Structure 1
Amino acid sequence: MCRSIKTLRPPFQDEVTDADIRAAALQYVRKVSGFRTPAAHNAEAFDRAVAQIAAATAELLASLRIRGRAQGGE
């Protein structure tokens, strides 16, 4: 669906920044909504969706267990 969204989990990406997560969320919302930049009357909903998806993505990445890697500094 969104080929330009890069994989953010190890081993594909060791360091993931908030900017990386937000960029992926923004790309997803743009694809799903069909808007690159929403009209003023849709901006709040658009921005809220980006924030919610970014939060869910951060939670997902923090919860993933990757084989061969210690969790939480173990």
Structure 2
Amino acid sequence: MCRSIKTLRPPMTPEVTPEDIHAAALQYVRKISGFRAPAAHNREVFDRAVAAVAEATAELLADLEIRGAHSAA
């Protein structure tokens, strides 16, 4: 889909920042909306979509169980 969205799950990406998640969400919303930057009348809905995708992505990454991954605890 979006070649510029990188894999964010461990072990592919050892440390994922909120900026990484936001960047991926922004690329996704840009791709599906067809807008690199929305017009002023679409800015609010565009930003809400980015926030929703970022939230869902963070939740997904937090809840994934990666087989063979060992915690440092």
Unaligned stretches of 5+ residues in structure 2: none
The CA RMSD measured in Å over matched residues stands at: 1.1
Name the CA distance, whole Å, in 2 between partners of 1:70 and 1:53.
28
Counterpart residue number, 1:38: 38
Q: Percent identity?
A: 73
Name the CA distance, whole Å, in 1 between partners of 2:4 and 2:70.
29
Unaligned stretches of 5+ residues in structure 1: none
Counterpart residue number, 1:20: 20
Counterpart residue number, 2:54: 54
TM-score (norm 2): 0.95
TM-score (norm 1): 0.93
Runs of 4+ in 1 over 3 A off after TM superposition: none
